[in-house]
Structure 1
Amino acid sequence: LPHPDGPAARCASPMAKGYLTYFESGVLGSEGGEVYAREALEINAGCSYWISARDRISCQMVVQAAEVGAAGGADGTAASKGETGGKEEDSDLAFILPQIIPMGTITRRAVENTWLTAANAKSNRVGSELKSMITAPPGYCFVGADVDSQELWIASLVGDASFKLHGGNALGFMTLEGTKAAGTDLHSRTAAILGISRNDAKVFNYGRIYGAGVKFAQTLLRRFNTSLSEAEAEGIAKELYKQTKGVKIRGRKGLRGGAGFWCGGTESLVFNGLEGFAQEERPRTPVLGAGITEALRKRYLGGGGGSGGGGGAYKKEGGASSYLTSRINWAIQSSGVDYLHLLIVSMEYLTRRYGIHARLALTVHDEIRYLAREGDKYRCAMALQVANVWTRALFSQQMGIQDLPQACAYFSAVDVDFVLRKEVDMSCVTPSHPEAIAPGESLGIWELLAKGREAVLDPGVRGADVDVPRPERFGFEERVPVMEGLGGADGEESGRAWLRAQIAGGRGEVDRIVREAGAKGAGSVSVSGSGSGGARGKQVEKKEGSEPQAKIRRQRGKEVASSGRDSSEKMRFLPGEPRSRMGFVDPAPFDEWGLVRSMNHPQRDVGGPKAWTMGLGLVDHGKGWAMPGKVGMSAGVGRH
């Protein structure tokens, strides 16, 4: 049976919901051509949403209007029938207070188990009209927008930062030029190439950007396109990754300090940039500089330089766990939270400055919804457009790009609606809600401008004096952008070599670029930084006499190793002497935790036969271990 999770997964019952697509496509069927199995699966799938959501809905925190002394509309005024979308004014007006955890994940995204996870209305799912049952109070409406391809744009901007130009890399150009309506955006093109739906293509593309491997892509292809065989899915996935992500180049000392990087793919610049963020000692988001949790910093993962498993997958690399894909995911999604925070702060300023009667109602990751008074709905929509321009401009500026194309500056549409739903034209007809809901209003920037005075943010109109924000009270100190702080200063030649290497056609071309860069360096080794904005490298000069000194150290190490000296004999490392050149014979495995525990108990064997007692003179000051200038250390531990 074609299991949705791949050929190695256990099938269990073919009557599970995951097999419905195979019955619909004709891959599976009932004996004798009957449709009983398909109908049973459709009934099961239709009821599954309500079964899982029923308890969460009944546990909502509801406040009746009578409990807070409200009457009629939220501002005490009644609304006409037309203002409430054709519905009679309800006498049992009530409010739901979502039980949201504002920063519930490591990416600082909000967490809530009903409204933030509610699916869109589907014609075959009972109860899926849930969100559209939330109606604005009389005299008010919902004004909001979805950020267009938010995470995709942020990822493409990381690649564009290498050239300091919007659309500088292939992904950035497609994000800038492509449109959903014309079917030329990345998700639409991917869907057409792979023969899957656009929503499925979004899952596929974001999985790639977040670092998922070929196996993940192969499984998704089989799930989304049931006509593909295992061999066909594997071939398509491998070729797609080769053309987009490129090939991994390792061990080129003249580039990125010898660390691996991607080259030859249309999205290699993006992946190198995201890995650069993830591999920083203290990763921060490129715009607001928000830090990652300490649990995912390199110092606690033992370096974590490899491509570890995502989503909590654990991979051993050099004796340390690496969560690289989780850190890449953090770099994009946490930047998305920065985007949302900037939008909210900008809207707070604009609504108070221009006296717009609106307040934040709900945010769902890349969606934002305001509850606005009917008379202010178009001004609120215009304020959202202005806030989006400010936010995108700040993102571009912090990435080192000093302009903003009009194509991505504004929301493609701001929705004005009287119910909560994904699109204003969704009828929200389901088995439990057979009546269609009247459409709302969707306005682009040109439609808003055509509204004239209704949408104007007039500087002469001010909010209440006590409520008008005064940002001039705060001083401004320009800070160095996170992008510029990655890796240090870089020379023009090293920067050019790093860019050329990323777009090279293969390993041979990369080697040629390294040789040319080395010849131009004339005695210095160019080391590219881990940043994404071009080659933020360092020039490491060879000190005079350093090579003979290194030979002496290596010779000394060989003498120690060949002298038969006991491995527990105390030795002293010379200042700055690299341990890897000491030439010690690797000792037997030992208990690392026992070693740490013995630091404060130098005379006591606390770890059994594998723990070596060491008198290092370390003192815990609450901020880490204080190391004396010269430390006696067992020679056998030198390599560790």
Structure 2
Amino acid sequence: MTSYWRNNRDRILGQMSIWFNRDEVPTGIYCDYKDCDYGAILPQVAVSGTLTRRAVEPTWMTASNAYEDRIGSELKGMIQAPPSYHFVGADVDSQELWIASVIGDASFSGIHGSTALGWMTLQGNKSAGTDMHSKTASLIGIGRDQAKVLNYGRIYGAGVNFAERLLMQFNRQLSSTEARSKSKSMYKMTKGERKYILNEEGRRLCEAFKDLSDRKYEAFSKNELRNLMDYHQIPSQHFMELIDKMVWDGGTESHMFNRLEEIAQGECPRTPILKCCISRSLVPSVVHNDVRFLVKSEDRYRAALALQITNLLTRAVCSYQLGMNDLPMSVAFFSCIDIDKVLRKEVTHNCLTPSNPHGLSGGYGIPLGEGLDVTQLLNRTKGSLEKDSTLPPATK
């Protein structure tokens, strides 16, 4: 129960907080209570702190969900918007997964969804159990949230050993042999198998070996290459002298990993969209894909629509930079824009914890927020960013 607070206490108490004098608070946002004070925390944010220009901040951007058995886990929900204001924002849907899959699609054919990973990302559905995380979970018999950890670990470069250790953490009854077998099965299905493209010398030798002569430009397995070397009586230590490059083959993510490795191993590695190089400011442990704006309550739906349009334009630029001039509807918009009075993880969470036993509604009188998709926002705003006098009045 105390683990979350123990791990975060010093960072929370060390925040830079500012309390306002009454004459410094803008007119119109005083609350009804005479003893109410107003203040703000100045988060120490590096606004473009990563390679992909995401913000870096170790406390508020990485705050966890509120759990009924974790003291202090309601942390994010304690930050409230002042009266007549709302927080409007969204958590980018599968950002890394989509970027990874669209790079693979662009490298393979230049068509969205042309690789197995790309198709699963565009068409997979969590409720139907057809998305990437659900598929991985069913393959190796773990929960979807656990599969999500494995999937992102793999995309960021973790190998079979990492997956094996993680599976044994998830299931204490699993032996190391079983965990190893499940890990290998998952990697074979997703990343594929390591194969080899021959160089000019290798292709010349291949032509003289009738079993492989018609495949000299294809990817070869290690066993096939050993057969080729045995035929020509070439010692095994000269294996790499016949290889032009190594590739992944036969997995749902093979094309994506091949392209990422091609970029990483180039003379001057640059990201394919922003064309920028690796920076020392890349700190994965404190990065997040969440964006929030504090807006006047009367403007909250227009701000949410503007955020949807921004996502559309951003994803369009990503596709264009990769040579694709269209964008699938399934990734064009945020699945949901959060409109809320506090900074909780989910607008439907009451943030009930041991240190907040009455929740946000009972303890602070804060109602649940709204989560609206693009269709609902178009209905609310009539598809316009202009002010509309028919909007419901601002709430305190």
> TM-score scaled by structure 2?
0.79
Separation (CA, whole Å) in 1 of partners of 2:35 and 2:322? 50
| Ranges in structure 1 where 5+ consecutive residues have no aligned partner | 1-45, 82-87, 297-329, 335-362, 462-640
1:123-522 paired onto structure 2 within 5 Å = 123-161=68-106, 162-250=108-196, 252-253=198-199, 258-293=244-279, 365-437=288-360, 438-453=367-382, 456-458=384-386
The 8 Å contact of residues 299 and 387 in structure 2, kept in 1 or not, is answered as no
The 8 Å contact of residues 337 and 373 in structure 2, kept in 1 or not, is answered as yes
Could you report, residue by residue, the CA deviation over 1:131-182 in whole angstroms, capped at 9, with x for unpaired residues? 1000001110100001100000000001110211110100000000012343
Choose 424-433 or 254-263, whichever is displaced more: 254-263
Choose 128-137 or 94-103, whichever is displaced more: 94-103
Report the 3-state secondary structure (helix = DSSP H, G, I; strand = E; otherwise coil) of the residue aligned with 2:291. Answer: strand
Are residues 374 and 109 of structure 1, via their aligned partners in 2, closer, same or farther at CA, if it must alter by over 3 Å? closer
The 8 Å contact of residues 80 and 139 in structure 1, kept in 2 or not, is answered as no
Could you report, residue by residue, the CA deviation over 1:346-395 in whole angstroms, capped at 9, with x for unpaired residues? xxxxxxxxxxxxxxxxx962110000100000000000000000001111
Aligned length: 341
- Residue number among 9, 15, 24 corresponding to 1:70 in the alignment: 24
Separation (CA, whole Å) in 2 of partners of 1:65 and 1:415? 28
Could you report, residue by residue, the CA deviation over 1:536-585 in whole angstroms, capped at 9, with x for unpaired residues? xxxxxxxxxxxxxxxxxxxxxxxxxxxxxxxxxxxxxxxxxxxxxxxxxx
Separation (CA, whole Å) in 1 of partners of 2:311 and 2:51? 25
Report the 3-state secondary structure (helix = DSSP H, G, I; strand = E; otherwise coil) of the residue aligned with 2:138. Answer: helix
Partner of 2:14: 59
Report the 3-state secondary structure (helix = DSSP H, G, I; strand = E; otherwise coil) of the residue aligned with 1:369. Answer: strand
Are residues 406 and 459 of structure 1, via their aligned partners in 2, closer, same or farther at CA, if it must alter by over 3 Å? farther
Are residues 89 and 375 of structure 1, via their aligned partners in 2, closer, same or farther at CA, if it must alter by over 3 Å? farther
Could you report, residue by residue, the CA deviation over 1:43-71 in whole angstroms, capped at 9, with x for unpaired residues? xxx1122122222222211111218x433
The 8 Å contact of residues 79 and 139 in structure 1, kept in 2 or not, is answered as no
Separation (CA, whole Å) in 1 of partners of 2:35 and 2:344? 20
Are residues 277 and 459 of structure 1, via their aligned partners in 2, closer, same or farther at CA, if it must alter by over 3 Å? farther
Could you report, residue by residue, the CA deviation over 1:570-608 in whole angstroms, capped at 9, with x for unpaired residues? xxxxxxxxxxxxxxxxxxxxxxxxxxxxxxxxxxxxxxx
The 8 Å contact of residues 195 and 225 in structure 1, kept in 2 or not, is answered as no
| Identity across the alignment (%) | 50
The 8 Å contact of residues 51 and 276 in structure 2, kept in 1 or not, is answered as no
Are residues 106 and 153 of structure 1, via their aligned partners in 2, closer, same or farther at CA, if it must alter by over 3 Å? closer
Partner of 1:468: none
Partner of 1:98: 43
Report the 3-state secondary structure (helix = DSSP H, G, I; strand = E; otherwise coil) of the residue aligned with 1:377. Answer: helix
The 8 Å contact of residues 385 and 445 in structure 1, kept in 2 or not, is answered as yes
Partner of 2:392: none
Q: Give the C-alpha shift of residue 460 in structure 1.
A: 12
Separation (CA, whole Å) in 2 of partners of 1:94 and 1:108? 29
Report the 3-state secondary structure (helix = DSSP H, G, I; strand = E; otherwise coil) of the residue aligned with 1:54. Answer: helix
Partner of 1:338: none
> TM-score scaled by structure 1?
0.50
Separation (CA, whole Å) in 1 of partners of 2:30 and 2:114? 51
Letter in 2 for 1:96: I
Separation (CA, whole Å) in 1 of partners of 2:352 and 2:278? 43
Separation (CA, whole Å) in 2 of partners of 1:411 and 1:386? 9
Q: Give the C-alpha shift of residue 103 in structure 1.
A: 5.0
Q: Give the C-alpha shift of residue 251 in structure 1.
A: 5.2
Q: Give the C-alpha shift of residue 101 in structure 1.
A: 3.3
Q: Report which of the two structures shows the higher radius of gyration computed on alpha carbons.
A: 1
Choose 113-122 or 55-64, whichever is displaced more: 113-122
The 8 Å contact of residues 389 and 410 in structure 1, kept in 2 or not, is answered as yes
Separation (CA, whole Å) in 2 of partners of 1:101 and 1:395? 23
CA RMSD, aligned part only? 2.7
Q: Give the C-alpha shift of residue 226 in structure 1.
A: 2.7
1:5-24 paired onto structure 2 within 5 Å = none
Separation (CA, whole Å) in 2 of partners of 1:387 and 1:107? 16
Separation (CA, whole Å) in 2 of partners of 1:119 and 1:52? 12
Separation (CA, whole Å) in 1 of partners of 2:50 and 2:309? 29
1:120 aligns with 2:48: no
Are residues 403 and 90 of structure 1, via their aligned partners in 2, closer, same or farther at CA, if it must alter by over 3 Å? farther
Separation (CA, whole Å) in 1 of partners of 2:317 and 2:58? 32
Q: Give the C-alpha shift of residue 110 in structure 1.
A: 3.8
Report the 3-state secondary structure (helix = DSSP H, G, I; strand = E; otherwise coil) of the residue aligned with 1:123. Answer: coil
The 8 Å contact of residues 90 and 338 in structure 2, kept in 1 or not, is answered as yes
Choose 197-206 or 251-260, whichever is displaced more: 251-260
Separation (CA, whole Å) in 2 of partners of 1:376 and 1:169? 41
Report the 3-state secondary structure (helix = DSSP H, G, I; strand = E; otherwise coil) of the residue aligned with 1:172. Answer: helix
Letter in 2 for 1:190: T
The 8 Å contact of residues 282 and 292 in structure 1, kept in 2 or not, is answered as no
| Ranges in structure 2 where 5+ consecutive residues have no aligned partner | 201-216, 220-242, 361-366, 390-396
Q: Give the C-alpha shift of residue 112 in structure 1.
A: 2.9
Partner of 1:50: 5
Are residues 456 and 110 of structure 1, via their aligned partners in 2, closer, same or farther at CA, if it must alter by over 3 Å? closer
Are residues 108 and 380 of structure 1, via their aligned partners in 2, closer, same or farther at CA, if it must alter by over 3 Å? closer
Q: Give the C-alpha shift of residue 285 in structure 1.
A: 1.3
Could you report, residue by residue, the CA deviation over 1:177-208 in whole angstroms, capped at 9, with x for unpaired residues? 01234332111222233232222211100111
Choose 261-270 or 383-392, whichever is displaced more: 261-270
